Structure 1
């Protein structure tokens, strides 16, 4: 009897509002209503953020994504750090840092590092580019929906910030043993971390899902 009443309640709610929204934290159902620019909608039960209306969100995310792709290329082309000791000098690239673990007999660790600092960040940037362009130009969104879903699944595994912290620790530790040369990729890598963090902060997942759903008909 309770199951039937609950089903009737949901059906009644669906008939009143074409776009019901469930809070991701507590499951409370809400009715979607447009927001003024800069405003946010919060759950009336737990106060969690439901969605927001950021001004120029797509343009900002697109600009940050293009900047991120440029910085990603620079980070992987130029040396990250250089080490000079006893007249010998050695440069370290981002991919080389990963392959060094392979050479030391840790193939699993090397594979995880490549996934976390190269493949996942590149996948996230390309997905953001596809999603934003799909919404802007009203393309069919089945591909964008697939990519965006998996991007959100892989997001916790992109550990650029952790790797950047490890690089900073290495710079401090090795500074007393040898002369360190900070390469161009070090600065582009720092910019990449900040750019991707800014794009993630600006992007409103609910607005993206809603726009993609409309494009998908």
Structure 2
């Protein structure tokens, strides 16, 4: 499996254009009002201009089915990330209504996390996302102990998130787990909330994917 890259927390139209030039696999837009990276009135034309091979991902926290459905339709999202306390029944209903939309269920991981919680979700979502446990539902800039992933026994591929920066590259390369599908980066590459440093992103991209394999290089 070729490792994918997701850059999350986008909002500014010009910054989106710059980040798109790096050709990430996923771009994340946070539709959670409690986040510093909340998109608010996101510019629809700038989202429509994103190439089809970059999956436009909406991030939601305990939003209603109707509000998620409206956003998916308005912005033509190709992926949805549920980052709250949504249950498996909610995930299943969404997937039945939008089978063409990739569904990612996120979980905050710490020493108390019970991986058995994932069992009911595995048949109805496309991927899990493992983030650092925080009251703010992500964006903490802190990395959880990746050794805790030894408790994950299901076969579903996962995104790895939470405080990942350039200093994390070597540790990522040392992960020997075929289920690792994508790396999700956000706050460690910002000059301000929702404004990404393209120079740092380029460095991360080049070092992680190395040489000819670097995305967009």
Which is greater in Rg?
Answer: 1
TM interval, shorter chain, is under 0.3
Where is the strand percentage greater, Structure 1 or Structure 2?
Answer: 2
Q: TM-score, normalised by structure 1?
A: 0.22
**Structure with larger RCO (C-alpha < 8 A, sep 6+):** 1
